[in-house]
Structure formats: structure tokens, C-alpha cells
């Protein structure tokens, strides 16, 4: 008998087909957003789960699903997993690193350009039929090439953004991260380490790429925004909750910083209502990794983790490999 697994959200049909060769698959191609109780119900009798950031796997879920052995997240971020509880319950957690690095770095840069160069604001102006002449200062934004790019969080995606900034746009790149990169990697990225206050004070554009953890909650709030230049832009492609969205909306309205580009939000898919009425912000619905080839690669890696572990005993990208021993 094939092991039973749950694919908790809609996914590429070819990935479902691959999984069906190894598993008895319960899928959710209608893409219903289950409540925690419904998720527990769907997980009954399943040894594996294909999850996304919207399925919270915590101690309560684990206690109610004793047959579960692995949750394979189709995301590099895994703040929907209580990793400690999963490890204690002997449930393997996997994610999808590497396959989305360059695509997400591309998007970070796209959002930076759109924000600094006021693309959304000017497009709304044009669509509203308000454009009736050229004007010397119309939608004049901030320079990107040759400016100073600050990066908070310097993992794979941060490094991809640094390379684009330093080598593509001639930017001075500074970063802050708990652990400093070695000299060779800093040289490859064209980036130098600075303290967090120095980063906030000096950069023209601040890019957030750090993983979410309770310690990272509201890493950027009113106090941090006040340390930035009034001409600065802020881009968040990391996770909602890293920025205090209410404080950011107020800062944008009051001109504490010039503009922001946000792909992630506290409590998404809800967006703080104040952000929806501020003109100098570009808002996108968590799409930084959303190209078809990259999303397919992510889905395949999550599927290969399920097959690797449940069929061959060898997952590809385990987050809590202690479970394997
Ligand atoms: C990730 O991989 O963590 C993304 O945020 C999901 O698209």
C-alpha cells in the first residue's frame, strides 16, 4: 500500500502526477484555505504533508496527527513551522532553498527600482487621465545607480541583491547581519559590513531580506525609520511582521522616509488600511519568487523531499536533520 499524503494547497498538475506515482494523494486543487481544525481533519491518516506558508504546523496540529512524519514546505521561509515542536514530535521539516534565490533577488531589485522611481504612483496618475503635460519635476524620484544600498540580512538572497547592486548598478553596498561574511564572499558581493545604526543612517535604499523569527518582530519600527534619511526608500521582501506596518504608513505620510516597496505584510493577505491610502508605497501580493519556472522548481523540490524521505529515507533539504538519526 502506498503511503498517504496531503497536498494542502493547489499545485502544478505535473507535480501532483509525480507524487501520485509514489503516494496515495489527497489534494486541494480547489485551493480551499482550511482552518486549523480542517487542516487537522485533512491530515488524519497521512504520513506526509506538502505545505505552503499558509499552513501552520504547531504542537496542537502535531498532537492531533500522530502518523505524520514529514511536512515539506514549498517555500524557503518556514515561519509557519514550529520547528522545536516538530523536532520533539519526530516530524521532519523541509524547505526549498537555492531554487528561488536569483528570481527573488531579481524581484527585490525590481521593487527597489519601482519604488525609488515612483512607477506605481505615476502609473496611477496616467491611468486616472491626469497627465496633460511634461513637467521638469513630475514624479522625480531617487537615484538608484551610484547610490548606497543597505541590506539587512545577508543570506543567499541578500547576496544576490548585493551583486546586482554593486556590479550592475555601481552602488556602494553595505549590509548588516548577525554573522559577517568572510572576506572572499564580501568581495564577490561588493559589500561591506556595518553596524545596524550605521546601516540605517547611511543608506539611500534599505532592503530587508532577513528571516522572520519572534526576535525579528518589528525590526523596523518608528524608532528605526526615524534614523533613516528623509530621502530614503525601504523595500521589504522578507516577511510580514519584520516591519511595523502602522508605523511605516505614518512615516511615509509624514515624510520621515520618501517611499516604500512592500511584497509582504503583517497578517497578510490582509494589508494595513493606512498603507492602502498612502501614495508613496508600491504594494505587491507576496510574489517575489513568482515566475513559473521558479515556482515549478520549488514545488518539485518539496515533492522530491517527500519522495526522498518517505520512499528512500533521504530528504534533500532537511531543516531538522536531528529527526533522521
Ligand atoms: C518563500 O519561499 O519563503 C516565499 O516567501 C514563498 O513564496
CA 75 to ligand 1 centroid distance, Å: 4
Q: Which of 239, 266, 272, 295 is catalytic?
A: 239
Active-site annotation holder among 121, 186, 266, 268:
268
Q: Give the distance from CA 235 to its chain's centroid.
A: 12
One domain for residues 157 and 250: yes
Structural domain including 91 reads 4-99+292-324
User: In a 10 Å sphere around its CB, with 0-12 CB exposed, 13-18 middle and 19+ buried, how is residue 126 labelled?
Assistant: exposed
* Residue indicated by cell numbers 523536532: 87
CA distances (Å), 316 to each of 25, 86, 301, 303, in order?
A: 20, 18, 8, 10
> Do 275 and 141 share a structural domain?
yes
How far away, in angstroms, is 78 Cα from ligand 1 center? 8
pLDDT of residue 269: 96
The pocket around ligand 1, CB under 6 angstroms, is made up of: 53, 75-77, 100, 289
> Do 193 and 308 reside in the same domain of the chain?
no
How far apart are alpha carbons 150 and 66 in whole angstroms? 45
Residue 76 to residue 98: CA distance in whole angstroms = 8
Nearest CA-CA partner of 212 in 305, 319, 76: 76
* Burial per residue of 56-66, b for 16 or more beta-carbon CB atoms within 10 angstroms, e otherwise: ebeeebbeebe
User: Is the domain of 184 the same as that of 318?
Assistant: no
What is the position in ligand 1's atom list of the atom closest to the CA of 264?
Answer: 5
Same domain, 178 and 259: yes
CATH code at position 190: 3.40.50.720
Q: Give the largest Cα separation in the chain, rounded.
A: 72
Say how many Å lie between the CA of residue 102 and the centre of ligand 1.
13
Known active-site residue 268: yes
pLDDT tens-digit map of 37-67: 999 999 999 999 999 999 999 999 999 999 9
Positive or negative CA dihedral for 155, 148, 288, 247? positive
> How far, in Å, CA of 23 to CA of 271, rounded?
38
pLDDT of residue 325: 87
Please state, in angstroms and rounded to a whole number, the distance separating the CA atoms of residues 82 and 67.
17
- For residues 196 and 253, membership in a common domain is answered with yes
| Claim to verify: residue 39 and residue 117 sit in the same structural domain | no
pLDDT in tens, the chain (325 residues): 999 999 999 999 999 999 999 999 999 999 999 999 999 999 999 999 999 999 999 999 999 999 999 999 999 999 999 999 999 999 999 999 999 999 999 999 999 999 999 999 999 999 999 999 999 999 999 999 999 999 999 999 999 999 999 999 999 999 999 999 999 999 999 999 999 999 999 999 999 999 999 999 999 999 999 999 999 999 999 999 999 999 999 999 999 999 999 999 999 999 999 999 999 999 999 999 999 999 999 999 999 999 999 999 999 999 999 999 8
**Co-location of 120 and 256 in the same domain:** yes
Co-location of 123 and 77 in the same domain: no
Domain count, the chain: 2
On whether both 144 and 237 belong to a single domain, the answer is yes
What is the reported pTM?
0.96
What's phi and psi for 201, nearest 5 deg? -75, -35
Residue 238 alpha carbon to ligand 1 centre in Å: 9
Which atom of ligand 1 is the closest one to the Cα of 53?
Answer: 6
Is the CB of residue 235 less than 8 Å from the CB of residue 241? no
Dihedral in degrees, nearest 10, Cα atoms 303, 307, 309, 310: 120
Whether 246 and 301 map to the same domain: the answer is no
Considering the domain architecture, whether residues 195 and 300 belong to the same structural domain is answered as: no
Amino acid at each position: 500500500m502506498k503511503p498517504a499524503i496531503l497536498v494542502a494547497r493547489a499545485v502544478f498538475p505535473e507535480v501532483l502526477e509525480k507524487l501520485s506515482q509514489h503516494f496515495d494523494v489527497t489534494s486541494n486543487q480547489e485551493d480551499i484555505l482550511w482552518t486549523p481544525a480542517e487542516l487537522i481533519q485533512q491530515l488524519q491518516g497521512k504520513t506526509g504533508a506538502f505545505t505552503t506558508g499558509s499552513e501552520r504546523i504547531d504542537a496542537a496540529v502535531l498532537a492531533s496527527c500522530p502518523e505524520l512524519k514529514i511536512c515539506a514546505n514549498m517555500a524557503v521561509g518556514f515561519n509557519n513551522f514550529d520547528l522545536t515542536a516538530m523536532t520533539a514530535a519526530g516530524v521532519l521539516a523541509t524547505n526549498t532553498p537555492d531554487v528561488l534565490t536569483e528570481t527573488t533577488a531579481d524581484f527585490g531589485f525590481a521593487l527597489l527600482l519601482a519604488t525609488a522611481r515612483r512607477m506605481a504612483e505615476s502609473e496611477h496618475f496616467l491611468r486616472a487621465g491626469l497627465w496633460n503635460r511634461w513637467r521638469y519635476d513630475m514624479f522625480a524620484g531617487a537615484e538608484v545607480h551610484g547610490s548606497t544600498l543597505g541590506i539587512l540580512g545577508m543570506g543567499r538572497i541578500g547576496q544576490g541583491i548585493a551583486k546586482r547592486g554593486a556590479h550592475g548598478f555601481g552602488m556602494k553596498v553595505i549590509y548588516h547581519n548577525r554573522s559577517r561574511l568572510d572576506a572572499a564572499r564580501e568581495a564577490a558581493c561588493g559589500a561591506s559590513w556595518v553596524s545596524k545604526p550605521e546601516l540605517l543612517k547611511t543608506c539611500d535604499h534599505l532592503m530587508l531580506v532577513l528571516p522572520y523569527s519572534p526576535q525579528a518582530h518589528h525590526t523596523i519600527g518608528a524608532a528605526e525609520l526615524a534614523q533613516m534619511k528623509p530621502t530614503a526608500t525601504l523595500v521589504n521582501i522578507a516577511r510580514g511582521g519584520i516591519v511595523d506596518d502602522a508605523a511605516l504608513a505614518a512615516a511615509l505620510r509624514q515624510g520621515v522616509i520618501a517611499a516604500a516597496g512592500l511584497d509582504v505584510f503583517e497578517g497578510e493577505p490582509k494589508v494595513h488600511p493606512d498603507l492602502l491610502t498612502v501614495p508613496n508605497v508600491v504594494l505587491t501580493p507576496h510574489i517575489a519568487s513568482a515566475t513559473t519556472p521558479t515556482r515549478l522548481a520549488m514545488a518539485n523540490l518539496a515533492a522530491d523531499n517527500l519522495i526522498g524521505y518517505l520512499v528512500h529515507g533521504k530528504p534533500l533539504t532537511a531543516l531538522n536533520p536531528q529527526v533522521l538519526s
